[in-house]
Chains A and B, each alone.
Chain A
């Protein structure tokens, strides 16, 4: 099976590959694999999963008010990603607003609309059309959406009192009852 002639072998000793070259080749391979592996892990699951602590972030609303999640400790935060060009977002806009009205007196739940890749005039038009009164602001530099690694709009993330992610909804809510049901569970 070994077809390398013997006389050639002795000759080859002088041409042996230095160890550092072998090491370097494998180090390169490992570095590449680590990089792709990390990328894969990032693609497969967001950095935040249900039960994990959500890092603080801030959103400046269309009214100019800056909302920092760190200041909202002890409250349940409902983060809703939407956009004016998104048809399904229109389906749940009324429902979100009525859920907001339902919890407003209690003061335990904070609603935050994050406007994803949108233009301001259109976004304001959307807010007026559906009469949204809870805090809404643009996702500047798409920072917040990248942090949650959203895949599209609408998506809703609910953060519990301890600041941990409690619930994720991809796609629109179908009814107000559905929203209330989910939030009530988180509140308990």
Chain B
């Protein structure tokens, strides 16, 4: 299971790395022409950052003065030719892990990514066992229950509706 997990993480990581490399390269090429980065370039970086002053609102839309200053800082760094990753690292060093939109994958933080899938797999196993044990209790019926064969017969629906009505009264 561990190796499967690793594979799952490795592939996106490689994709991410290539993606970042690509954005890095494109940033540098953009940098050559425009010395002041546009609002959109700033927001693209800010979107994935969270400022502690406004809880749970990403930096690109937070209206407080502190966040406006942060965006100005991003602009400055972009103008200086920094990549998105470098800027993120800078913010983490300055203000801590909580500026990232998801916890960085190290130490205790692994729990946040591992536990939900593990519990979910546990649930899958439990459901599997329930279904298995219930099937074992009684060998599967070979003859379909009455009314099953004419499932698509239009009259089946009629019958069904009647039955429902009957049951409804019954409750």
Binding site for B on A (CB under 8 A): 83-85, 117-119, 121-122, 138, 140-143, 146
- Contact of B64 with A117 in the complex, beta carbons under 8 Å: no
Given contacts A140-B93, A141-B93, contact A117 B98 (CB under 8 A): no
- Contact of A141 with B94 in the complex, beta carbons under 8 Å: yes
Question: How far in angstroms is the closest Cβ of chain B from A180?
Answer: 30
Q: Which residue of A lies closest to B64 (CB)?
A: A85
B27, CB-defined interface residue at 8 Å: no
Question: How far in angstroms is the closest Cβ of chain A from B67?
Answer: 9
Question: How far in angstroms is the closest Cβ of chain B from A30?
Answer: 18
- Contact of B69 with A85 in the complex, beta carbons under 8 Å: yes
Q: Collect the chain A residues with CB atoms within 8 Å of residue B92's CB.
A: 141
- Contact of B65 with A117 in the complex, beta carbons under 8 Å: no
B98-138: which residues lie under 8 A (CB-CB) from chain A? Answer: 98
Q: Which residue of B lies closest to A138 (CB)?
A: B94
A-B contacts, 22 of them at CB < 8 A, read A83-B66, A84-B69, A85-B65, A85-B66, A117-B53, A117-B95, A118-B66, A118-B69, A121-B73, A121-B76, A138-B94, A140-B93, A140-B94, A141-B93, A141-B95, A141-B97, A142-B52, A142-B95, A142-B96, A142-B98, A143-B96, A146-B96
Question: How far in angstroms is the closest Cβ of chain A from B142?
Answer: 29
B70, CB-defined interface residue at 8 Å: yes
Cα–Cα distance between A121 and B95 once the two chains are bound (Å) = 16
Residue-wise, chain B 56-70 has the 8 Å CB interface mask toward A (1 for contact) of 000000001110111
- Contact of B51 with A117 in the complex, beta carbons under 8 Å: yes
Question: How far in angstroms is the closest Cβ of chain B from A145?
Answer: 9
Question: How far in angstroms is the closest Cβ of chain B from A150?
Answer: 11
- Contact of A119 with B95 in the complex, beta carbons under 8 Å: no
Cα–Cα distance between A140 and B70 once the two chains are bound (Å) = 15
Q: Collect the chain A residues with CB atoms within 8 Å of residue B64's CB.
A: 85
Given contacts A83-B66, A85-B65, A142-B52, contact A119 B73 (CB under 8 A): yes
Q: Which residue of A lies closest to B92 (CB)?
A: A141
Taking each of A121, A138, A142, A143, which has the highest tally of chain B beta carbons within 10 Å of its own beta carbon? A142
Q: Collect the chain B residues with CB atoms within 8 Å of residue A119's CB.
A: 69-70, 72-73
Q: Collect the chain B residues with CB atoms within 8 Å of residue A83's CB.
A: 66
Which of B69, B70, B96 interacts with A141 by CB under 8 Å? B96
Q: Which residue of B lies closest to A87 (CB)?
A: B65
Q: Collect the chain B residues with CB atoms within 8 Å of residue A122's CB.
A: 69
Q: Which residue of A lies closest to B52 (CB)?
A: A117
Cα–Cα distance between A82 and B66 once the two chains are bound (Å) = 12
Q: Which residue of B lies closest to A84 (CB)?
A: B69
Cα–Cα distance between A121 and B51 once the two chains are bound (Å) = 17
Question: How far in angstroms is the closest Cβ of chain A from B96?
Answer: 4
Q: Collect the chain A residues with CB atoms within 8 Å of residue B95's CB.
A: 117, 140-142
Cα–Cα distance between A45 and B68 once the two chains are bound (Å) = 31
Cα–Cα distance between A140 and B92 once the two chains are bound (Å) = 9
